[in-house]
Chain A
Amino acid sequence: MKMILRKAGAWLEDRTGVVSAIKPIMNHLVPPGAKWAYVFGSATLFCFMLQIVTGIGLALLYQPSSEAAYQSLRFITDQATFGRVLRGIHFFGASGMVLFVGVHMIRVYIMAAYKYPREMNWITGVLLLFLTIIMGFTGQLLRWDSNGVWSSVVAAQNLGRIPLIGTTMARLLLGGDTIGAQTLSRFFAYHVFLVPALMFAFIGFHLFLVIRNGISEPPKAGQPVDPKTYRKWYEAMLKREGVPFWPDAAWRDAMFGALVVIAIVGLAITIGPPALTQPPDPSIINTTPAPDWYMLPIFALFALVPPKTEPYLIFFGPILAVGALFALPFLSGTGERSPIRRPWAVFGVVCVVVAVGALLLVGEIAPWSPRFDTKPLATVVSYHDPLLERGAILFYKKGCQYCHMVHGEGGIKGPNLSVIGRTWTANQLTVQIVNGGGNMPAYGGSLNNGELHDLVAFLSAQK
């Protein structure tokens, strides 16, 4: 038996040459210091493979039609064997991929691995970053519930801000003038065929470049990259102290990748996929659309920038970001790589991480959104004075409470009014309520004198 297998193997190798083609790649020499910091690129790749496999699994069960997708999602989640886990893995796999793309990119930037001769490694990596984000967004839409519908409208509005061709692009994205039969099949085609095909191509190119240009050695301070001597020096260094990629370096990739996949499956089983919201009927409007966590920082940014600057941000923001990322290896393609000698680069990374993290946090809280689900104050606090009770009821009914908090109930868009009576006079309160201002609507037209009086009395009593 062993003989037959060996013979078959030898025959296959003679006719295909697969082993002799792969062996030099597996055994190519890499710098010895490449340790745990280098596992994030391969972790991203493992997540990608996980997405391909679970994506195929989901495609076996999913109906990519505007009409039927929601039913099939319900079926996958509630009835199909392991369907819920499958959806969960695909969701957490996407999250993992976005996360590790980010960490990988930060690692490459901190260690300046994008410098000569690896400029194209960086550029293909940036393209893959954007393709990953597109996959995340289109994938979220394929979860075709009311959140999916409204997310596609939000995306169309974003495209609509492009000068001249914006409206055309928005219609193209939606597959027509409105949400409809052609909307979902388009996102499906992008998410399942077009973008993955591009990703396969660019991942192949990216890996080819990693092999061709060699894995960057961990940087040492005082050892700047000089294009005249770098390649020669790198070759000599590899000959002197290089170790074979497999197994000396790759076991860490394999182990970390396996742990990542196990963690993702664990999260999928314990937490499960995002719950489906209401059906994808655009006439159901009592919904609070919010993107998945990886798009939330951008969503939060749109709420926080001054409205006047927003069209410029929506249009020029992405262009500047892409331009800056592409320009980076050409602006600083040589010189010091060590983060110790590049304090501003490290500072910049810290700033970006803090900013994105802060936007994510504030996006989770969404202080700018009215709290429609706040409990009427009069049902929580018992007011003995009928005047105060009338005021408390008005405070809820007129929508004040959606944005202002009193005694722990209400929104946080506007100031907390629990002690407003200490500092504001009745007159000031009246003027503010009637005229609005400071991002508050004017209520002069929708309150009669009695209501205004009750409301002011209620607020004056908050001390």
Chain B
Amino acid sequence: MNQENPETTGPNQLPIANPPDNDSRRDFMMKVSLGLGGLAATAVAVPVVGALVAPLLADKSEVWRSVGAPDQFPVGTTKLVRFENADPLKWAGETAHTAAWVRRETDDDFVVFSVNCTHLGCPVRWEADAELFMCPCHGGVYYRDGTVAAGPPPKPLPRYDVRVAGGQVQVGTAPIPITKFSDG
């Protein structure tokens, strides 16, 4: 077992006190090795952290998505539409879809509500006869104009940009609305 007994390693390595210049040399080399190690770690960490935060750096500008001709939305009704998010990656598949509630108030006044409840983001349903949006998760309820009617939601349903162009109702893509601490 005792292959590495330090006292029997050889006649040349007598235990002598290190001369001071040797001491500072070792100290220097130790610091260089720590520095180089830190540099190597940083060099590896940058691309890994980059992969982690990459989605935050991607700037996805608003894209207009056609969701149907205006006459598909009778005045006073609220209809579910589906559209594709801005610039999805190919392998997003069906997860690139977003739904929204389009309400036609008057002939040329459209409102598009997010389906995401402002409480915890669950998808709200439009109950046409009751004229209420209802959330299945914690019982949040909104009126037809998106204001809170009952339950825990801290603020009204968020809205998407909407326009009528080229004979189509178009919805502007947007990030999933995230309720902030300061929203109450």
Residues of A within 8 A of B (CB): 65-68, 149-150, 153-154, 156-158, 160-163, 166-168, 170-172, 174-184, 279-290, 299, 302-303, 307-308, 310-311, 315, 368-370, 372, 397-400, 402-403, 413, 436, 439-443, 445-446
Main secondary structure of the interface of A (DSSP, over half): loop
Query: In the complex where A154-B121, A172-B52, A285-B80 touch, is A368 in contact with B151 (Cβ < 8 A)?
Result: yes
Query: In the complex where A285-B123, A311-B184 touch, is A166 in contact with B178 (Cβ < 8 A)?
Result: yes
CA distance A149 to B95 in the complex (A): 8
Query: In the complex where A154-B122, A157-B121, A161-B181 touch, is A442 in contact with B99 (Cβ < 8 A)?
Result: no
- Which of B119, B134, B181 is close to A163, meaning CB atoms less than 8 Å apart? B181
B55 in contact with A161 (CB, 8 Å):
no
Residues of B within 8 A of A (CB): 52-53, 55-56, 58, 60, 80, 82, 85-86, 88-99, 115-116, 119-125, 127, 129-132, 134, 136-139, 141, 143-144, 149-154, 174-176, 178-184
- Which of B56, B80, B124 is close to A168, meaning CB atoms less than 8 Å apart? B56
* Complex interface: chain A residues within 8 A of B151 (CB): 307, 368, 439
Least Cβ–Cβ distance between B28 and chain A, in angstroms: 33
Least Cβ–Cβ distance between A66 and chain B, in angstroms: 4
- Which of B52, B92, B131, B134 is close to A446, meaning CB atoms less than 8 Å apart? B131
Q: Which residue of A lies closest to B122 (CB)?
A: A289
A310 in contact with B116 (CB, 8 Å):
no
A156 in contact with B176 (CB, 8 Å):
yes
Least Cβ–Cβ distance between B50 and chain A, in angstroms: 13
* Complex interface: chain B residues within 8 A of A315 (CB): 181
Query: In the complex where A177-B176, A307-B154, A413-B139 touch, is A282 in contact with B97 (Cβ < 8 A)?
Result: yes
* Complex interface: chain A residues within 8 A of B95 (CB): 66-67, 149, 179-181, 183-184, 280-282
Q: Which residue of A lies closest to B152 (CB)?
A: A307
A180 in contact with B96 (CB, 8 Å):
yes
Q: Which residue of A lies closest to B181 (CB)?
A: A163
A369 in contact with B120 (CB, 8 Å):
no
Q: Which residue of B lies closest to A163 (CB)?
A: B181
CA distance A175 to B85 in the complex (A): 14
What's the count of A-B pairs with C-beta under 8 Å?
199
* Complex interface: chain B residues within 8 A of A175 (CB): 55
From A178, A281, A284, A308, residue with most partner B Cβ within 10 Å: A178
Query: In the complex where A158-B120, A172-B55, A441-B143 touch, is A369 in contact with B180 (Cβ < 8 A)?
Result: no
* Complex interface: chain B residues within 8 A of A308 (CB): 184
* Complex interface: chain A residues within 8 A of B89 (CB): 180-182
Least Cβ–Cβ distance between A412 and chain B, in angstroms: 11
A397 in contact with B150 (CB, 8 Å):
no
* Complex interface: chain A residues within 8 A of B58 (CB): 176
Query: In the complex where A303-B152, A369-B138, A402-B134 touch, is A178 in contact with B55 (Cβ < 8 A)?
Result: no
Q: Which residue of B lies closest to A394 (CB)?
A: B129
Q: Which residue of B lies closest to A153 (CB)?
A: B121
Q: Which residue of B lies closest to A167 (CB)?
A: B178
CA distance A167 to B181 in the complex (A): 10
CA distance A88 to B175 in the complex (A): 35
B121 in contact with A171 (CB, 8 Å):
no
A281 in contact with B56 (CB, 8 Å):
no
CA distance A310 to B125 in the complex (A): 23
Query: In the complex where A171-B55, A280-B94 touch, is A288 in contact with B154 (Cβ < 8 A)?
Result: no
CA distance A157 to B175 in the complex (A): 13
CA distance A157 to B135 in the complex (A): 15
Q: A-B pairs with the 5 shortest C-beta distances?
A: A67-B93, A399-B130, A441-B149, A177-B175, A181-B89
* Complex interface: chain A residues within 8 A of B123 (CB): 150, 282, 285, 287, 289
* Complex interface: chain B residues within 8 A of A446 (CB): 130-132, 144
Please name 5 further chain A to chain B contacts, defined as beta carbons within 8 Å, in addition to the given A68-B91, A180-B89, A372-B125, sorted by A numbering.
A157-B121, A287-B123, A288-B136, A397-B130, A398-B129
* Complex interface: chain A residues within 8 A of B92 (CB): 66-67, 180-181
* Complex interface: chain B residues within 8 A of A289 (CB): 122-123, 136-137
Q: Which residue of B lies closest to A158 (CB)?
A: B120
Least Cβ–Cβ distance between A306 and chain B, in angstroms: 9
Least Cβ–Cβ distance between B156 and chain A, in angstroms: 14
CA distance A160 to B184 in the complex (A): 12
Q: Which residue of A lies closest to B81 (CB)?
A: A283
- Give 29 A-B contacts (CB < 8 Å), ordered by A residue: A68-B91, A153-B116, A153-B121, A154-B137, A156-B176, A157-B120, A157-B121, A160-B180, A161-B181, A177-B174, A178-B176, A181-B90, A181-B95, A181-B96, A282-B98, A283-B97, A283-B99, A285-B124, A289-B137, A302-B120, A303-B137, A307-B119, A310-B152, A311-B184, A372-B136, A399-B130, A436-B150, A441-B141, A441-B149
* Complex interface: chain B residues within 8 A of A68 (CB): 91, 93
* Complex interface: chain B residues within 8 A of A398 (CB): 129-130
CA distance A399 to B95 in the complex (A): 31
A282 in contact with B150 (CB, 8 Å):
no
Query: In the complex where A154-B121, A180-B85, A181-B89 touch, is A282 in contact with B99 (Cβ < 8 A)?
Result: yes
* Complex interface: chain A residues within 8 A of B144 (CB): 445-446
B178 in contact with A170 (CB, 8 Å):
yes
CA distance A149 to B92 in the complex (A): 12
Least Cβ–Cβ distance between B57 and chain A, in angstroms: 10
B94 in contact with A281 (CB, 8 Å):
yes
CA distance A443 to B149 in the complex (A): 10
Query: In the complex where A171-B175, A172-B55, A180-B89 touch, is A279 in contact with B132 (Cβ < 8 A)?
Result: no
A181 in contact with B94 (CB, 8 Å):
no
CA distance A24 to B149 in the complex (A): 67
CA distance A170 to B177 in the complex (A): 10
* Complex interface: chain B residues within 8 A of A176 (CB): 55, 58, 60
* Complex interface: chain B residues within 8 A of A163 (CB): 181-182
Q: Which residue of A lies closest to B83 (CB)?
A: A283
A399 in contact with B179 (CB, 8 Å):
no
